[in-house]
Amino acid sequence: MQRIAGRKGHSAILTLVSYRSADADRVINELRTALMSCKGYSAGPTKATYEDVEATSDPSQGDGGVAFRLKLVMQPGEDGLKVSISVTVIRHGSTLAIYKVAADTPETTASIPADLVNAQSKVLDAAVHTTA
């Protein structure tokens, strides 16, 4: 499931992905490990290039998670155009909530709205930790 929300200066994409519980935990751990050494990569059908990957503070919500920033290279070169992207991945049981925000301008640092993460985490935690 994917939702897009907008706010002046940023637009956020929230993606929910379901796994088996052990696999969701493994994905978080593998991502955390990759962030220790990853500085950039290319991905997707257009081979989009991402640089300046850096881990940020882990989120406090959910059952664990990771957060990082990176830059999408729009124009290569020393003075090329790069857009800031912020990503937070939070595990809620066997579901991963992936928040991704791209800045509207190259001069702006992308920031995921805390109220979005808190509200969505509250709903996901309630669903995961409800007893029948």
Give the model confidence (pLDDT) of 89-106 as tens digits.
999 999 999 999 998 888
pLDDT value at residue 30? 96
Burial class of residue 119 (count of CB atoms within 10 Å of its CB; 0-12, 13-18, 19+): exposed
| Mean pLDDT in residue range 4-14 | 67
pLDDT value at residue 104? 82
Distances (CA, A) of 78 to 11, 73, 82, 94: 27, 11, 10, 42
pLDDT value at residue 41? 92
What pTM did the predictor assign?
0.88
